[in-house]
Structure 1
Amino acid sequence: MNVLITTIGRRGTLTKIFKEELNKIGGKVIVTDNSPLAPALYQADNYYLTPRVDDENYIERIIEICQKEEIKVIIPLLEKSFPIFDRARDIFKEKGIILLLSKAETFEKCKDKYKLYEYFKGNSILTPESYLCQDLGSDFSFPLFIKPRTGQGSQDIFKVKDQKELNFFSKYIDNPIIQEYIEGTEYTIDTLSDLEGNLLSAVPRKRIEVRSGEVSKSVTVKDDRLINWAKNIIEDLGIIGPANLQAIITPEDEIKFIELNPRFGGGVPLSYQAGINYPLLISKMVKGEEVRPFLGNFEDGLAMLRYDTPLFRRIDELGEKND
């Protein structure tokens, strides 16, 4: 079975994981990006350059690649591309290609951090109090967090300690959301759901260090509370395929949920190393084989320490491809 992962960027380890596991069962991983400087391109079985995701010819190019490489499943990584892929969902279905992506209603709710906050509050799920700028009023205390209402990753997230900083960042950030600042330990729960939205696996990991918006040091933690909450939230929202749910455990031992991203997170190689064979599980799902949930079945206390690895290629060979 051949898998296409789009907008691969720097996800070299994820690419190598899919290549290693799919090759074992006679499959391949094909990746795309719009830049020949995306290092993960050169880790795959094959790669293709595409237009930007907002280009009118983007989906046509993806279909062309799928047909040439006999792709059975597409895994988008860039949230900006989700609506574009969703609009072409029926086209892929007609061609026998599964789009491993949640429905539009779900990923739009996850993308909009204020809508997600309203979902948490409406379902009695603890979460930091959140406000739009026009609704902030005067009943709050510093410090606060301010970040874009929509967006991918941890870019443009700031802790503000006074009114002057709040005024500045409210103008600096486009369409911001303001959140109560919560002390505590951050956790990410890597999840995988089947094509019907049933949760198959959930691996909580403590975030020890984050660099440039992605976790660089992390450790798996077998916390039944986090796993059970993940099952409730992920299945209620109808998540399909991979996702990562973020939470903070406060000094008072309260669990407060802050974000949900319906895609592979940057730290997912740790969950793979802890025992979750994502490529094999996805292959079985796509082939219609039974995959039973195995929540909590992973190695506890496994740490990941990430570091940069250089990739060397002649400059005149970057992006060179036999299309």
Structure 2
Amino acid sequence: MAVTGLNANDNPGPGLGVIRALRDGFGENLRIIGLAYETLEPAIYLSDQVDKTYRIPYPTAGVEALKERLQQIQEVEHIDVLIPNFDAELFNFIKLEKELLSMGIRTFLPTHQQLADRDKVNLQAFGNKHGLDVPASETILAASELDQMADKLGFPLVIKGKFYEATIVQHISEAYKAFYKLQAKWGLPIIVQQFIKGTEINIAGLADGEGNTLSVIPMRKIYITEKGKAWAGITIADDKLINLAKAFAKATRWKGGFEMEIMRDEQDRLYIMEVNPRFPAWIYLSVAAGQNQPRMLVDLALGNQVKELTAYTAGKMFVRYAWDNIIDVAEFQKLSAFGEL
């Protein structure tokens, strides 16, 4: 199996959680190939989890650069299934889906249209079309539009980057600061969204591309970092949340893993804040709850029959922690110089 998203910092990628789930699902007869963009993605150096790592070109390098690099890797590794875990890389991997299959690499990914439908810039229109509650939002291309957005939506506001990150702002000066920071990091457009007060809930799901969900695990955040990421969470039993995930999968005919970020307000109304087109960083909690979603996705990619799972254990918690992993500088230098470790 080849897996991306090996970063494990305070804004972790899903890669390590996916790898742990695969190791639980397949046991010893498994070789994990890490695909990394940077030399300091922590999971690279966890030799008990990742057997070998290759650097791959950034998504901005384009489809052909990625294809050429994956061909080089495939000649050595004979990868069966590849699971991308970053939003920004998915367009290129979806574009290469047929070419990857001709190399012997199977994937199970959404279509470009599905990717666009749930995009932050299109989410409100998607909600309106399918009768799903989504906070009011506007897409802007210039900071000068912020004053108009503030008058329209009121404070506090949520300022969101094109791919990642969101900042809650209380007044216009904070809004400008957040705009320029996110523009510098992720580019335009910037999304300005109505703030919804309530309880933060995330849902990890897997859908078959035919409108059916095969697994849904809701999780309530119980410790949240300054970046808004769940550092601890607990699985909860809630049919309303499960039905919401099923409604999304049915409306989009979603194919693959997804994460819904939900805000439950004081009137018990569920607002879809974001839909991420891949597994969340906390996906290993699905294994603990009794539904190994990454393992199920691999079976789908291989063409195996996968039955819907409905039973799971509520009250399973995860608590994330930092760990100083000691390595020799020679390992870092090897990856930097040769692009593999």
Q: Does 1:36 align with 2:39?
A: yes
Match of 2:175 in 1: 166
Q: Does 1:27 align with 2:30?
A: yes
Distance 1:83 1:90, change over 3 A: same
Match of 1:257 in 2: 272
Choose which of 302, 317, 321 in structure 1 pairs with 2:331.
Answer: 317
Choose which of 98, 109, 122 in structure 1 pairs with 2:117.
Answer: 109
Amino acid at match of 2:321: Y
Contact 1:214 1:267 in 2 (8 A): no
Contact 2:74 2:103 in 1 (8 A): no
Match of 1:4 in 2: 2
- Give the drift of 1:168: 4.4
Choose which of 244, 266, 284 in structure 1 pairs with 2:281.
Answer: 266
Alignment TM-score, normalising by the size of structure 2: 0.84
Distance 2:289 2:127 in 1: 29
Q: Secondary structure at the match of 2:81?
A: strand
Distance 2:171 2:83 in 1: 42
Match of 1:214 in 2: 229
Contact 2:200 2:262 in 1 (8 A): yes
What is the 5 A alignment of 1:1-323?
3-10=1-8, 11-24=15-28, 26-41=29-44, 42=46, 43-55=49-61, 56-110=64-118, 112-133=119-140, 134=145, 136=149, 138-148=151-161, 150-152=162-164, 155=165, 157-174=166-183, 175-194=189-208, 196=210, 198-211=212-225, 212-295=227-310, 297-318=311-332, 320=334
- Give the drift of 1:32: 1.1
- Give the drift of 1:318: 2.5
Q: Secondary structure at the match of 2:80?
A: strand
Distance 2:286 2:325 in 1: 24
Structure 1 or 2: more helix by fraction:
2
Moved more, 72-81 or 216-225: 72-81
After superposition, the C-alpha distances for 1:178-236 in whole angstroms (9 at most, x for unaligned) are 21111100110000123545310000000122224531110101110110110110232
Amino acid at match of 1:284: D
- Give the drift of 1:290: 1.7
- Give the drift of 1:319: 6.1
Distance 2:18 2:152 in 1: 44
Distance 2:203 2:82 in 1: 22
Amino acid at match of 1:180: Q
Contact 2:130 2:251 in 1 (8 A): no
Distance 1:288 1:90, change over 3 A: closer
After superposition, the C-alpha distances for 1:76-122 in whole angstroms (9 at most, x for unaligned) are 11222111112212211223322222111111333x31201210122
Amino acid at match of 2:168: K
- Give the drift of 1:137: 7.6
After superposition, the C-alpha distances for 1:152-185 in whole angstroms (9 at most, x for unaligned) are 3xx2x22222334334444554232221111100
Distance 1:107 1:137 in 2: 29
Distance 1:203 1:115, change over 3 A: same
Distance 1:83 1:284, change over 3 A: closer
Structure 1: unaligned runs, 5 residues or longer: none
Aligned length in residues: 314
- Give the drift of 1:69: 1.8
Amino acid at match of 1:254: R
Distance 2:88 2:206 in 1: 21
RMSD (Å), alpha carbons = 2.3
- Higher relative contact order, structure no. (Cα contacts within 8 Å, ≥ 6 residues apart): 2
Structure 1 consecutive aligned stretches of length 4 or more whose deviation exceeds 4 Å: none
Distance 1:202 1:279 in 2: 12
Contact 2:3 2:33 in 1 (8 A): yes
Moved more, 172-181 or 300-309: 172-181
Distance 1:23 1:61, change over 3 A: farther
Amino acid at match of 2:52: N
Distance 1:314 1:137 in 2: 51
Contact 1:204 1:226 in 2 (8 A): yes
Contact 1:19 1:45 in 2 (8 A): no
Amino acid at match of 1:303: M
After superposition, the C-alpha distances for 1:249-288 in whole angstroms (9 at most, x for unaligned) are 1111111111000111111121221111234323332333
